[in-house]
């Protein structure tokens, strides 16, 4: 019965393509994946896996694995879905959308629904935006020699949205990722951390180029964008998950943080920031990444105050 239902769905929604070679793959799709890829649905904005993805690689069709887009053609349109201004030659087919207004884009190899294409918006010189559902794609990452030069630092200073917002603006910082660290639950969700005792702190992973900015410079900024003296949370956010802490990866980082805390104490601050050993970092879901940039506002409980 399940096979018959899938077969009928295939015939009625994508009869312009021969999907027999991918019948088994279609059966393995989740209901959400099938709704988008086969039934031409649309993923909700800002939740897709690849919306803010910056890794180098090739984006392939989730159904047939055909290469569709190179990451070099990806750009941030702030529309809530991955955007590309060009496709791999011959990979994409354009078809009139059933709404009579838009142009749908599908995989030229298997006909899987990808999204829509728009022109004349002026985002890039190519003046084209392929608006693609993350759920229709798989990213095959390319090794990047520059990645070997990148360093990582971990801080917790209340709501991770605000810490990410300010640290990501530092020159030399490539990316800041919001997530969780220090608890006893594997891959916790945001609501598990907030509502249950997982032991995690809201934390950020700072990816930076040490040839352009030092660990100490980032740490100094961290102490100046949140209140390191508050012991029960940060601003109006009260709770163990909002405590101030630095997760250190080496003795050198530990000594750097101790030195900065000593400077703050000389300046009259009673620092509550904990120094903890780096633990496994768990990335929060996409809705929590670049939160304030998506919202178009500034943090409500973080701000810069010169303390050194």
Which pair of structure tokens corresponds to residue 48? 């897709």
Which pair of structure tokens corresponds to residue 176? 């800041």
The side-by-side arrangement of strands in the sheet containing 103-107 is 74-75, 83-84, 128-132, 113-119, 103-107, 92-96
User: What is the β-pairing status of strands 128-132 and 83-84?
Assistant: antiparallel
**Residue that is written with structure tokens 């791999």 in the block:** 88
* Candidate list 61, 107, 110, 159, residue with the active-site label: 159
* Cα(226)–Cα(299) distance, integer angstroms: 11
Is 159 labeled as catalytic in the residue annotation? yes
- Residue 264 carries which DSSP code? H
* Cα(16)–Cα(3) distance, integer angstroms: 20
In terms of Cβ atoms closer than 10 Å to its own Cβ (0-12, 13-18, 19+), residue 48 is buried
Comparing C-alpha atoms, which of 5, 10, 2, 1 is closest to residue 37? 10
* Candidate list 61, 110, 131, 301, residue with the active-site label: 131
* 175 contacts 168 by C-beta, under 8 angstroms: yes
* Cα(33)–Cα(134) distance, integer angstroms: 10
Is 79 labeled as catalytic in the residue annotation? no
* 216 contacts 261 by C-beta, under 8 angstroms: no
* 54 contacts 142 by C-beta, under 8 angstroms: no
* Cα(165)–Cα(226) distance, integer angstroms: 12
* Cα(262)–Cα(178) distance, integer angstroms: 28
* Cα(246)–Cα(273) distance, integer angstroms: 7
Catalytic residue ranges: 131, 159
């Amino acid at each position: 019965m399940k096979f018959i239902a899938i077969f009928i769905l295939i015939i009625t929604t994508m009869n312009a393509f021969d999907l027999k070679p991918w019948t088994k793959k279609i059966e393995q799709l989740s209901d959400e994946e099938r709704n988008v890829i086969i039934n031409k649905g649309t993923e909700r904005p800002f939740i897709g896996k690849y919306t803010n993805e910056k890794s180098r690689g090739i984006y392939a069709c989730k159904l047939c694995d055909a290469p569709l887009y190179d990451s070099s053609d990806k750009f941030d349109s702030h529309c809530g879905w991955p955007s590309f201004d060009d496709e791999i030659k011959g990979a994409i087919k354009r078809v009139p959308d059933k709404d009579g207004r838009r142009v749908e884009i599908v995989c030229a190899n298997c006909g899987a629904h990808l999204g829509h294409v728009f022109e004349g918006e002026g985002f890039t010189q190519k003046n084209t935006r392929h608006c693609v559902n993350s759920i229709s794609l798989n990213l095959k990452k390319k090794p990047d020699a520059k990645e070997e030069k990148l360093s990582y630092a971990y801080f917790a200073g209340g709501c991770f949205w605000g810490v990410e917002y300010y640290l990501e603006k530092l020159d030399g910082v490539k990316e800041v990722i919001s997530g969780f660290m220090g608890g006893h639950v594997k891959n916790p969700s945001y609501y598990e951390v907030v509502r249950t005792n997982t032991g995690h702190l809201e934390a950020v992973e700072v990816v930076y180029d040490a040839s352009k900015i030092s660990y100490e410079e980032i740490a100094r900024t961290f102490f100046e964008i949140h209140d390191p003296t508050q012991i029960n949370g940060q601003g109006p956010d009260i709770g163990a998950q909002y405590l101030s802490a630095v997760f250190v990866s080496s003795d050198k980082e530990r000594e750097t943080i101790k030195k900065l805390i000593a400077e703050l104490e000389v300046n009259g601050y009673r620092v509550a920031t904990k120094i903890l050993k780096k633990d496994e970092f768990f990335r929060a879901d996409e809705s929590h990444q670049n939160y304030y940039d998506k919202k178009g506002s500034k943090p409500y409980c973080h701000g810069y105050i010169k303390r050194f």
